[in-house]
């Protein structure tokens, strides 16, 4: 935990950091061997590329400017303050004057790749800007970029494995440019971005490190495009929701950048999983199992409507099921049998399997077992998808049929779109995911807000709560799919309803559900619904004299 709130925004602090550093550097330069001063500065990042486009969305014909490029950030606020707009050390700064002989020994920096879409002829003060990013941790933002609310999207159709190339990239009638400018950001080490310097992985790959890099990116973006007085929104998916909780706290309390709204898709704030003495994850994932069984017509009798059925399952999950699991070894055989039969009626899982599992079935076990009688494995990110089972004797699923069904199309079309339409990246490799190698993501939250991490299990709920308490105008929008086993919708709702906030702030949270999976936007009807709800959320948020 950081012991005190930052009193000045990073850009106000920057001059105070640079001036004493530069003064000390004058004395250090005289004592340094001349050979070190002749080390050339690192090369500048590739130039931004600007193209023009248009899309029909939200009942409007929208002409827009697309800019693809990178923004370079330092690994700490002090280092970042010494980087110029071109991402190179400012002349006279300590970074410039203490350049090592080997570039690999330099201070770590990250060039973060992004694509921004700006509606033409719109005043910055009147125009919201929304920052999008995926999760992982370790994923680029190609999924949101070409699947959700950008001007183009990958046509995926039904919940089946797509045939091979050529795939279809088409105009998105549910593009969000009707209400907001859009910025799709790739995390450090993905996309066309690059990390350089000593221990760059450790400097940028972790809960705190990542959120602070995104905060520096956003501050630099606001300066680069003169958007400091624009309404500002975050849109994160999956681990991107974890990032959003920490990032919102960093922006609000360390950068003095108030946000107007935070949109969360496939939320996960609490990583403390199930295990001996921890039964809550089993209870919160049960409604997702039930939704899957309903979708695949595995129930007898089949409930006529999904929402009332799920409400019944939710009541059971936090009622009789929770009570049974809480009894542990005191649970009698008759009650165990009764609960197993009830779960069978909700999920279609065999009673004998549930008894053998001691009433506790994980997501991976469900994916392996649910459709095993058909020789099929159920999707993790979207249980509407089924694929042939790799190992019928395995306890857990060996792959995710949804990822297998659509990933090739996204990778192929993103590479084609960036090079052919946006004219960026010729001869470069686009990384859909970070190449961690032996590096591990640091799951420890050591900054203000949040707690734990590492072996204790990460929970950043208090980060989001602190951001909401320090900015009581901040609105939060939760979006989750019913058929998502990676970030179950009932677990996300439970997290939001247990935020440590006063009752007066609960009205700032909006809950939206979709008959889809983790990536709700891959289903056309849900992408339209997502657009309409997000557009209404942005319009309803508090900003200026709108």
For the segment 372-428, what is each residue's pLDDT rounded down to a tens digit?
999 999 999 999 999 999 999 999 999 999 999 999 999 999 999 999 999 999 999
Residue 4 has pLDDT above 80, yes or no: no
Give me the mean pLDDT over the 417-444 stretch.
Answer: 93
- Cα distances (Å, whole numbers) of residue 230 to 184, 364, 418, 543: 17, 43, 27, 9
Q: What is the pLDDT of residue 132?
A: 98
Lowest mean pLDDT among 30-34, 146-150, 268-272, 298-302: 30-34
Q: Domain-by-domain residue ranges, the chain?
A: 10-271+409-540, 280-399
* Tens digit of each residue's pLDDT (9 = 90 or more) over 465-499: 999 999 999 999 999 999 999 999 999 999 999 99
Q: What band does 456 get if pLDDT is binned at 50, 70 and 90?
A: low
pLDDT value of residue 16: 31
Per-residue b or e along 76-103, where b marks 16 or more CB atoms closer than 10 Å to that residue's CB: bbbbbbbbeeebbbbebbbbbbbbeeee
- What pLDDT digit, counting tens, does each position of 163-210 carry? 888 999 999 999 999 999 999 999 999 999 999 988 999 999 999 999
Can you read off the two tokens belonging to residue 350? 């065999």
End-to-end CA distance of the chain: 37
pLDDT for 453 equals 52
Higher pLDDT, 124 or 544: 124
Whether 22 has a pLDDT exceeding 70, the answer reads no
E-assigned strand segments in 120-238: 129-133, 152-154, 169-171, 181-185, 194-196, 232-237
* Residues sharing a CB contact under 8 Å with residue 405, sequence separation 6 or more, in sequence order: 156, 159, 160, 161, 162, 385, 387
Q: Which two tokens stand for residue 518?
A: 């983790």
The model's confidence at residue 159, banded by pLDDT at 50, 70 and 90, is confident
pLDDT of amino acid 212: 97
Q: In 510-531, which positions are buried (b, 16+ CB within 10 angstroms) versus exposed (e)?
A: bebbbbbbbbbbbbeebbebbb
How crowded is residue 26: how many other Cβ atoms within 10 Å of its Cβ?
A: 10
The dihedral formed by the CA atoms of 295, 296, 299 and 303, expressed in degrees to the nearest 10: 30
The number of angstroms, rounded, from the C-alpha of 271 to the middle of its chain's C-alpha atoms is 14
Q: Report d(CA 417, CA 420) in Å as an integer.
A: 5
- Give pLDDT, residue 34: 39
pLDDT value of residue 99: 72
Mean pLDDT of the chain: 89
Cα 216 to the center of its chain, rounded Å? 17
Q: Distance (Å, rounded) from C-alpha 130 to C-alpha 489?
A: 23
Burial class from Cβ neighbours inside 10 Å (0-12, 13-18, 19+) for residue 364 reads middle
* pLDDT classification of 287: cutoffs 50, 70, 90: very high
Buried b (16+ CB within 10 A) or exposed e, 270-309: bbeebeeeebbbbbbbbbbbbbbbbebebbeeebeeeeeb
**Do 113 and 217 contact (CB within 8 A), yes or no?**
no
Please tell us whether the domain made up of 10-271+409-540 is placed in CATH 3.40.50.1820: yes
> DSSP readout, 499-524?
-S--GGGGGGEEEEEESS-SSGGGSH
DSSP for 519-534 reads: SGGGSHHHHHHHHHHH
In this prediction, residues 4-29 reach a mean pLDDT of 36
pLDDT one-digit tens code per residue, 131-156: 999 999 999 999 999 999 999 999 98
What are 268-283's pLDDT values in tens digits?
Answer: 999 987 667 789 999 9
- List, for residues 46-104, the tens digit of each pLDDT value: 899 999 999 999 899 999 999 999 999 999 999 999 998 888 888 877 777 677 767 77
Q: How large is the average pLDDT for residues 307-316?
A: 98
What is the number of other CB atoms lying within 10 angstroms of the CB of residue 332? 10
Query: Could you count the other beta carbons within 10 Å of the beta carbon of residue 120?
Result: 11
Percent of the chain with pLDDT over 90: 76
Q: What distance separates the 2 farthest-apart alpha carbons in the chain?
A: 85
């Amino acid at each position: 935990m950081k012991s005190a709130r930052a009193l000045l925004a990073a850009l106000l602090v920057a001059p105070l950091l640079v001036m004493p550093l530069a003064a000390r550097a004058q004395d250090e330069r005289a004592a340094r061997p001349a050979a070190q001063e002749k080390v050339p500065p690192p090369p500048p990042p590739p130039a931004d590329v600007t193209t023009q486009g248009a899309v029909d969305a939200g009942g409007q014909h929208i002409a827009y400017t697309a800019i693809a490029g990178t923004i370079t950030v330092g690994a700490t606020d002090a280092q970042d303050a010494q980087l110029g707009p071109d991402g190179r050390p400012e002349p006279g700064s300590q970074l410039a004057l203490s350049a090592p002989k080997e570039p690999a020994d330099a201070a770590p920096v990250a060039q973060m790749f992004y694509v921004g879409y700006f509606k033409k002829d719109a005043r910055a003060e009147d125009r919201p800007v929304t920052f999008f990013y995926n999760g992982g941790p370790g994923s680029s933002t190609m999924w949101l970029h070409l699947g959700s609310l950008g001007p183009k999207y990958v046509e995926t159709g039904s919940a089946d494995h797509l045939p091979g190339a050529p795939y279809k990239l088409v105009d998105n009638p549910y593009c969000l440019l009707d209400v907001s400018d859009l910025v799709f950001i790739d995390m450090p080490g993905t996309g066309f971005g690059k990390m350089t310097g000593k221990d760059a992985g450790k400097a940028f790959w972790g809960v705190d490190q990542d959120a602070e890099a995104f905060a520096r990116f956003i501050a630099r973006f606001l300066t680069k495009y003169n958007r400091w007085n624009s309404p500002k929104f975050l849109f994160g998916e999956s681990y991107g929701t974890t990032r959003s909780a920490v990032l919102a706290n960093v922006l609000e309390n360390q950068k003095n950048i108030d946000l107007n709204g935070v949109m969360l898709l496939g939320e996960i704030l609490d990583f403390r999983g199930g295990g001996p003495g921890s039964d809550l994850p089993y209870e919160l994932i049960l409604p997702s199992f039930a939704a899957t069984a309903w979708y695949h017509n595995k129930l007898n009798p089949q409930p006529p409507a999904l929402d009332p059925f799920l409400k019944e399952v939710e009541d059971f999950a936090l009622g009789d099921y929770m009570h049974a699991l809480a009894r542990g070894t005191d649970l009698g055989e008759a009650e165990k049998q009764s609960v197993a039969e009830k779960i069978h009626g909700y999920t279609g899982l065999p009673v004998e399997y549930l008894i053998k599992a001691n009433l506790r079935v994980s997501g991976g076990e469900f994916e392996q077992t649910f459709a095993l009688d058909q020789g099929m494995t159920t999707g993790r990110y979207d249980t509407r998808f089924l694929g042939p089972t790799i190992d019928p004797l395995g306890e857990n699923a060996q792959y995710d049929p949804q990822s297998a069904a659509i990933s090739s199309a996204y990778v192929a079309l993103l590479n084609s779109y960036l090079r052919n339409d946006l004219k960026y990246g010729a001869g470069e490799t686009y990384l859909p995911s970070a190449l961690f190698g032996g590096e591990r993501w640091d799951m420890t939250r050591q900054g203000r807000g949040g707690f734990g991490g590492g072996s204790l299990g990460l929970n950043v709920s208090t980060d989001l709560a602190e951001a909401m308490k320090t900015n009581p105008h901040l609105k939060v929008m939760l979006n989750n799919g019913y058929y998502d086993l990676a970030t179950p919708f009932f677990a996300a709702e439970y997290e939001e309803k247990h935020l440590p906030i006063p009752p007066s702030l609960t009205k700032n949270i909006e809950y939206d559900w979709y008959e889809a999976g983790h990536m709700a936007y891959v289903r056309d009807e849900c992408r339209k619904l997502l657009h309409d709800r997000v557009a209404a959320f942005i319009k309803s948020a508090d900003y200026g004299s709108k």
